[in-house]
Structure 1
Amino acid sequence: MPKPSLLRLPTVKARTGQSRSAIYAAIQRGEFPKPVPIGARAVAWVESEIDEYIERQIQRRGAA
């Protein structure tokens, strides 16, 4: 099993196509993975959770 890796916000934005404000709004609604604190003022997201989020979005397209 591969080791988990973390993605910083610019990468998450690029991979999801969402803005910072849209990401944080989706987190508040419980629709987007929560970030992991990695420092006093820094967060990152678990790459596999972002991959799963993207997969769910793709599956929603097929269900619509």
Structure 2
Amino acid sequence: MVRPPEKLIRRPTVLDRTGLASATLDRLVASGGFPIPVRTSPATVAWLQSEVSKWIRTRPRAVRGSVNQSEVSQ
């Protein structure tokens, strides 16, 4: 079976899908807590969609009552 080519997604899409702030994304990448981007040109990077999706799936879910409502509405 032939697998379709891997899709690359740029920073705005990563930020939208994860809900992370740009600075938080940078810190997580630097600390090894988020997938490393792929350089697509001298000035741009992108992430493998499958790696970002896997990272999202591995995040713990908030338990009702354990998250402050003011944190959720921000």
TM-score class, shorter: 0.7 to 0.9
Give the TM-score normalised by the residue count of structure 1: 0.87
Mind listing any 5+ residue stretches in structure 2 that lack a counterpart?
A: 63-74
Give the TM-score normalised by the residue count of structure 2: 0.76
Identity of aligned residues (%): 35
By relative contact order (CA 8 Å, sep 6+), the higher-ranking structure is 1
Q: How many residues align?
A: 60
> Bigger radius of gyration, 1 or 2?
2
Query: Which structure shows the higher helix fraction?
Result: 1
CA RMSD of aligned residues (A): 1.2
Mind listing any 5+ residue stretches in structure 1 that lack a counterpart?
A: none
> Where in structure 1 do 4 or more consecutive aligned residues deviate above 2 Å?
none
- Counterparts of 1:61 and 1:29, CA distance in 2: 22
